């Protein structure tokens, strides 16, 4: 510790502290080190005991298709070569904004000139009886993944609450581990934020064929059990027996430390277009931040925020503006794509084609002769092309009749 302190005193340049080390924080480090940044020392404080890893691939680890080592984003040498000190398993506990100093759970203290919150999110609570019982788990990080693998070796049945991406990936991973899995989803169709009802039904059919039980329009009322979770009771009084309950019903930004530090927060940490918080010298990005009324649950806008913030910290005039974000997913090997609107209204026209033999589906949404949304299931190679059309907002009157067939049939 003394050697570290003496070395730090010899460091020239400003000091940057990053609170959290997920995928977006790692992208910020990469964006900074690709520029001539002003920092002589960058410290990253991570509550998890391992460096940043690809959370998107945790489902592959859960299913036994990937190892933990394969999801790590950078080797330890990458950080050492760039004067980046990573404090794994030692989260920031308090921040003194007057002294510009952080103190960790272990009591370690570090000064900063600039500080970035990248604390991410946690699973949203259901707010029902029995939620705190042993056997009720989340699926957000590597520790959750390890715990689920362990449980799958000892238990036979699982109920997954939530038919979004994380819930379906958890369900498929546990099924691959040999468990009988039931998915409960409040909406009438799976992935209701990304897919329309037809694509959602196609996905449900594909998962059912693999052995996963899907119950849409189903809301949990309570989790029953004396010593641990033994059943989930639905609002219609149906009781589903289980050995494990996985909660994957949305996320909540982690703002506890920011609030205690005095930063303005709503659902997330409030930031401006430069990702600056209400306290000078402190910034936030990724799932923990909020710009206007919008929070960000996908990694792609977090990556764009990282590029903007890196530029700002290096003196560039950069601003982040929320934009249409495409969702590219693979659920059980089935490619899915959506961008823009997914539900038509009285002012929207729909162009739909479907191949029932191969379960391929395309739904394009058009308003005022401009493409405003696209939902693809089973075949998504034209997804980026549709995304470009949505972003450009060009009049598609002259090619409306070929639009559903993709870029290969576009003559403009």
Q: Is the pLDDT of residue 39 over 60?
A: yes
Give 265-287 pLDDT, tens digit per residue: 999 999 999 999 999 999 999 99
Q: Percent of the chain, pLDDT > 70?
A: 97
Q: Is the pLDDT of residue 130 over 50?
A: yes
Q: Which of 343 and 7 is assigned the larger pLDDT?
A: 343
Gyration radius from the chain CA atoms: 23
pLDDT score recorded for residue 327: 85
pLDDT score recorded for residue 97: 97
Q: Which of 117 and 334 is assigned the larger pLDDT?
A: 117
Give 289-329 pLDDT, tens digit per residue: 999 999 998 899 999 999 999 999 999 999 999 877 788 88
pLDDT score recorded for residue 361: 95
Q: Is the pLDDT of residue 358 over 70?
A: yes
pLDDT score recorded for residue 31: 98
pLDDT score recorded for residue 298: 86
pTM of the model: 0.89
Nearest-angstrom CA–CA distance, 363 and 37:
45
Domains of the chain, start order:
2-122+251-313 (3.50.50.60), 136-247 (3.50.50.60), 327-409 (3.30.390.30)
Nearest-angstrom CA–CA distance, 410 and 52:
41
Residue 247 near residue 126, CB atoms below 8 Å: yes
Q: How many residues would you count in the chain?
A: 412
């Amino acid at each position: 510790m003394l050697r570290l302190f003496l070395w730090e005193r010899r460091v020239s340049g400003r000091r940057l502290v990053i609170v959290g080390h997920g995928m977006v924080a790692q992208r910020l480090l990469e964006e900074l080190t690709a520029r001539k940044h002003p920092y002589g020392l960058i410290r990253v404080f991570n509550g998890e005991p391992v460096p940043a890893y690809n959370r998107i691939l945790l489902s592959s680890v859960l299913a036994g298709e990937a190892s933990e080592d394969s999801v790590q984003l950078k080797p330890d040498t990458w950080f050492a070569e760039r004067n980046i000190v990573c404090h794994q398993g030692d989260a920031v506990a308090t921040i003194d904004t007057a002294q510009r100093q952080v103190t960790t759970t272990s009591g370690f203290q570090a000064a900063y000139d600039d500080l970035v919150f990248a604390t991410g999110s946690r699973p949203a609570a259901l707010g029902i009886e029995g939620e705190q019982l042993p056997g009720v788990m989340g699926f957000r990080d590597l520790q959750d993944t390890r715990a689920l693998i362990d449980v799958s070796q000892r238990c036979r049945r699982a109920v997954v609450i939530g038919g979004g991406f994380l819930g379906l990936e958890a369900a498929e991973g546990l099924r691959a581990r040999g468990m009988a899995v039931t998915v409960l989803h409040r909406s009438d169709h799976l992935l209701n934020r990304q897919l329309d009802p037809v694509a959602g039904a196609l996905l449900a059919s594909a998962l059912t064929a693999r052995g996963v039980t899907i119950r849409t329009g189903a809301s949990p009322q309570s989790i029953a059990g004396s010593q641990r979770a033994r059943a989930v009771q639905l609002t219609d009084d149906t009781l589903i027996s289980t050995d494990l309950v996985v909660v994957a019903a949305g996320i909540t930004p982690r703002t506890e430390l920011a609030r205690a530090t005095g930063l303005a927060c709503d659902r997330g940490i409030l930031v401006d277009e430069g990702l600056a918080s209400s306290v000078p010298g402190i910034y936030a990005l990724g799932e923990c931040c909020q710009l206007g009324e919008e929070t960000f649950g996908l990694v792609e806008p977090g990556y764009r925020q990282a590029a903007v913030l890196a530029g700002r910290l290096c003196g560039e005039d950069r601003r982040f503006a929320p934009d249409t974000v495409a969702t590219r997913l693979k659920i059980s090997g089935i490619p899915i794509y959506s961008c823009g609107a997914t539900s038509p209204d009285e002012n929207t026209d729909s162009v739909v084609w479907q191949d029932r033999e191969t379960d391929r589906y395309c739904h394009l949404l058009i308003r005022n002769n401009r493409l405003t949304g696209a939902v693809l299931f089973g075949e998504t190679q034209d997804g980026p092309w549709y995304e470009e059309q949505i972003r450009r907002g060009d009049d598609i009157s002259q090619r409306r009749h070929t639009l559903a067939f993709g870029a290969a049939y576009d003559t403009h």
